[in-house]
Amino acid sequence: MTTHALASHVDRRRRALTLALACGPALVPAAFAATAAPRVPILVYHRFASRMLDSMTVRIANFEDHLHVLHQLGCQVISLAAWVAWRLGRERGERVSLPPRAVVLTADDGHRSQFEVMAPLLRERGWPVTLFVYPSAISNASYAMTWAQLQELASDPLLSVQSHTYWHPNLVRDRQRMPPTAFQRFAASQLARSRDTLELRLGRPVTLLAWPFGLGDEGLARQAQQAGYEAAFSLGNRSAVAGDSPFDVPRHMIVDSVDARQLAARLEAAFADKAAS
């Protein structure tokens, strides 16, 4: 396909998508009523490719449609650090606020396609993203980024690299299999070694954690807090509210079956439904 043909193909996709979005009554931007407790959709992606490679792949064309939806709906993509600062500021009783229609983007597991596909598309738009990485995979697993690629990303102020433990164990399952003291030592090492490795390699502070498989519990939350983390993120397909425990903040898992229309519906539902607290 020539450059011109490609451009007009993309234009046609955009026009079709805009039309599809404009037809949905739920997509008429509602006037934003200022609220102290907005619901904020935190999206989590994994892998990007032109075709489906596994259940965690989002096809690139679909991802581009998602970005178009975020733009069309007037979403303000904020960094995860900004959400955490707002959440913790509220806890301290500070008068803090978020922009209307705030959305957060994250991506887990250090897939190379985050470097090759996702980062350039987000950079074009000036949108921040947080990557949750488990260091044992970097420059090691066949699908993963190298340390050089991760360092290049981490040097971009729009991009933050945070902890996903050291080797991505299922901590909730491991707790049942191991003697309590051994488990506590193991979990502490997963939490500290990941943070220390990322800080050493990337020269940036690591204060946020994503639970492997989205699975944490209260004991692990205490350990994460003791290890110096400020917040930890799980899964849950609902939007985050100020009342969520800072160590169990839900994220929407985004897979390829979430098309533009479904994403738009989820976002509009979050923006329409203000939290009670």
Q: How far is the CB of 110 from Zn ion (least distance, A)?
A: 9
Q: How far is the CB of 257 from Zn ion (least distance, A)?
A: 19
- Binding window for Zn ion (CB under 5 A); candidates: 60-68, 96-104, 109-117, 230-238: 109-117
Q: CA–CA separation, 47 vs 49, rounded Å?
A: 7
Q: 190 or 241, CB closer to Zn ion?
A: 190
Q: 253: burial class by Cβ within 10 Å (0-12, 13-18, 19+)?
A: middle
Tokens read off for 73: 């709906």
Q: CA–CA separation, 277 vs 273, rounded Å?
A: 12
Q: 60 or 215, CB closer to Zn ion?
A: 215
256 binds Zn ion per the rule CB under 5 A: no
Q: How many residues bind Zn ion (CB under 5 A)?
A: 2
Q: 62 or 106, CB closer to Zn ion?
A: 106
109 binds Zn ion per the rule CB under 5 A: yes
CB atoms within 10 A of CB 99: 13
108 binds Zn ion per the rule CB under 5 A: yes
Q: 37 or 141, CB closer to Zn ion?
A: 141
Binding to Zn ion, residues 78-107 (CB under 5 A)? none
Q: 147 or 167, CB closer to Zn ion?
A: 167
Instruction: Tell me how far apart the terminal alpha carbons of the chain are, to the nearest angstrom.
Output: 53
Q: How far is the CB of 205 from Zn ion (least distance, A)?
A: 21
**Element at 132 (helix H, strand E):** strand 129-133
Angle, alpha carbons 237-243-247 (nearest 5°): 70
Q: How far is the CB of 186 from Zn ion (least distance, A)?
A: 18
In three-state secondary structure terms, 40 is strand
Q: How far is the CB of 135 from Zn ion (least distance, A)?
A: 13
Residue 7 amino acid letter:
A
Strands 42-45 and 252-253: parallel
**Residues at the interface with Zn ion (CB under 5 A):** 108-109
